[in-house]
Amino acid sequence: MARQSARWRPSELLLPTPAGLYCPPADIHIDPVRPVSRALITHGHSDHARAGHGAVLATRETLAIMALRYGEGFTGSQQVALPGESVRIGEVDFTFVPAGHVLGSAQIAVESRGLRIVASGDYKRERDPTCAGFEPVPCDIFITEATFGLPVFRHPPAAGEVAKLLESVRLFPERTHIVGAYSLGKAQRVMALIREAGYERPVYIHGAVEKITGFYQAEGIPLGEIRLVSESDRKTLGGEIVICPPSATQDLWARRFPDPVTAFASGWMRIRARARQKGVELPLVISDHADWDDLLATIREVQAGEIWVTHGEADALVHWCGTAGLKAKPLHLVGYGDEGEAESEGGAVDAPAA
Ligand SMILES: [Zn+2]
Ligand SMILES: [Zn+2]
């Protein structure tokens, strides 16, 4: 029997290590949380995309986002992964496929000797006007997050949540509506959804959201007229919409607007107690992660016989897989946040929730 052609045991092709998922035959890590010689990065959120690797392979957009956040020297060398095209490293083929999470986000299919493992990174299934939609890839093993992996998490359509925001703006034309939204992805998605709903006034932003928003616009995503708050007189912003990092909604910064209405766009807003605890007057359940139903639908769709769960509510999802006759295990990967992914700009850090 030719040794080279023997099928891999899964853990020979990909295994969890303290630095992240590691592929021994290619000597690469996926989304490593420590500096490594060669990293493949699924998307630009700071818990997945870190500076200091020897080489990075990622989509063009993710590389650009990393350069914006960390500076051009964020890695020794970089290589663009084209969506759908495989890159061979050693005897392993890596293919980046859209994940529908934020601009440039990708799942990574790892394939060798007839075994295909898909590391999906963070993903969602709901339509998002700011990024390419998730494409299911049939595989032997599907690696999924479980940020919202409990039946209580069912995200309503985002358009309905944005309609609530616009209705509040209409009802309270004297008050500034301050929307907390993560600076990469969520903020721009809220802007795009506001435009789809027909809102045409300028949207105001906190400085921490500026760079990434400018990048989205340069990529041709229509966000309408965007203005920096710092260039405006806040007293004149009654009735306007201001988008800022979540932590800024609780700062002194937010109190200087006329009678502000505090909103927060997050999957966590499904939990009313959490909204109250954060002082959120207008919770908007808008998430860039799959909810419970979409996690289950995706697991069925990719037809994998085995599921590995990276982070989030792993236990509930692993249990469900068992009842569905699927092999499943939690990987207990450390270092990945939930939707409260650490913000790397403007000192706006929102700690992951317990
Ligand atoms: Zn993410
Ligand atoms: Zn994440």
**pLDDT of the residue at 76:** 98
List beta partners, residue 55.
Answer: 38, 77
Which uninterrupted H or E stretch holds 164?
A: helix 158-171
Paired tokens of 269: 């807003």
DSSP per residue, 101-145? SSTT-EEEEEEETTEEEEE--S---S--TTSPPP-----SEEEEE
Which residue bears the tokens 């592929």?
A: 23
Structure confidence at residue 351 (pLDDT): 35
Residue 253's identity, in one-letter code, is W
* Cβ count near 98 (within 10 Å): 18
CA–centroid distance, 113 to ligand 2, in Å, is 29
Spatial contact of 203 and 224, defined as CB atoms under 8 Å apart: yes
Cα 161 to middle of ligand 2, angstroms = 23
**CA of residue 247 to ligand 1 center, whole Å:** 17
User: What is the model's pLDDT at position 354?
Assistant: 33
Looking at the CA of 45, which ligand is closest? 1
CA dihedral defined by 237, 239, 243, 249, rounded to 10 degrees? 80
Q: Are 256 and 237 in contact (CB under 8 A)?
A: no
Phi and psi at 46, nearest 5°, equal: -70, -15
Separation of CA 30 and ligand 1 centre (Å): 14
Amino acid, res. 102: V
pTM over 0.85: yes
pLDDT for the residue 337: 79
Residues around ligand 2, an ion, CB closer than 5 A: 47, 122
Cα gap 190→163, rounded to integer Å: 11
Q: Residue 338: its pLDDT value, please?
A: 57
Per-residue pLDDT of the chain (354 residues; tens, 9 = 90+): 445 568 999 999 999 999 999 999 999 999 999 999 999 999 999 999 999 999 999 999 999 999 999 999 999 999 999 999 999 999 999 999 999 999 999 999 999 999 999 999 999 999 999 999 999 999 999 999 999 999 999 999 999 999 999 999 999 999 999 999 999 999 999 999 999 999 999 999 999 999 999 999 999 999 999 999 998 889 999 999 999 999 999 889 999 999 999 999 999 999 999 999 889 999 999 999 999 999 999 999 999 999 999 999 999 999 999 999 999 999 999 999 754 544 433 333 333 333
- 3 state SS of 299: helix
Q: Which residues contact 263 (CB under 8 A, 6 or more apart)?
A: 165, 168, 177, 178, 179, 180, 249, 280, 281, 282, 283, 284
Q: What's the CA-to-centroid distance between 101 and ligand 1, angstroms?
A: 7
Element (H, E) at 17: strand 15-17
Compute, in angstroms, the gap from residue 14 CA to the centroid of ligand 2.
Answer: 19
Task: Tell me if 261 sits within 8 A of 240, measured CB to CB.
Answer: no
Per-residue tokens: 182: 């993560």
CA of 43 to the centre of ligand 1 (A): 7
